[in-house]
Amino acid sequence: MVCAPESSEAVLNLGLVACEAARRLVVIALNKSDLPEHPAALKSLAPYEKIGYTVISMSAKFEGTQALAPHLEHKVTLLVGQSGMGKSRTVNALLMSEVARVGDLTASLESGAQTTTFSRIYRLDRDTAIVDTPGFQSFGLFHLTEDQIGEAMREFRPFLGACKFNDCSHLNEPGCAVIAAAKRGEISAPRLSFYQVLIEQHRDLHEQHPEWTR
């Protein structure tokens, strides 16, 4: 994530669902701490810290990647995010070398110029590597079932199985434990709304393309 160009919380949530479904550890790195928008953007990530995600603040351009580096040790880490988020600059800062091409900000589009067009792995040491991926603006989760999407919402897990109906989809069913938890403030309203919109889109896509599931 990054402050400019404007980051998308929907894209962040999609990425978190994908990682949770694949049982991958996640660190949310908010880049460009030198920008005036950064404090507000960092504050907006507080709900993610509340449900157990690690959130770090950094500036690959000025302060370096000291806050990020310890989370990468002895792992192969996939660096993902929207175009213009500073992924390639982060790779360069980690390696202390200009190995990844850095794009300029396209002011008219308020987005980063796409310079990384394929994934590339960089080894930081014998046991540590980072994969720089192309930037994106959206991606799909068609391969997941509705149950897998619900399970991937980590704050839903204490309430799954406690609904009135066994096949509850947590949309508008009576006796839904997830919706009740959201009303009590135990699940954030934006996260529940994201999930519900995602499920509706998921169903629409499956209806439009039943052949994809064969």
Kindly give the confidence (pLDDT) of every residue in the chain, 214 residues in length, as a single tens digit, with 9 standing for 90 and above. Answer: 444 456 688 889 999 999 999 999 999 999 888 889 999 999 999 999 999 999 999 998 877 788 898 999 999 999 888 777 788 888 888 887 766 555 544 444 444 444 555 788 999 999 999 988 876 655 678 889 999 999 999 999 999 999 999 999 999 999 999 999 999 999 999 999 999 999 999 999 888 877 765 5
Domain end (from 132, 162, 191):
132
Final residue before a domain boundary, out of 132, 157, 179: 132
C-alpha closest to that of 59 among 20, 79, 29: 29
End-to-end Cα, the chain, rounded Å: 35
Residue 2 lies in a domain: no
Question: Domain with 157 in it: what CATH number?
Answer: 1.10.40.50
Q: Domain range spanning residue 203?
A: 146-213
List of residues 6+ apart from 213 with CB closer than 8 A: 206
Distance CA 51, CA 47 (A): 7
* Domain CATH for 21: 3.40.50.300
Residue 114 and residue 78 share a domain? yes
- What is the model's pTM? 0.83
178 burial class (0-12, 13-18, 19+ CB within 10 angstroms)? buried
For residues 113 and 17, membership in a common domain is answered with yes
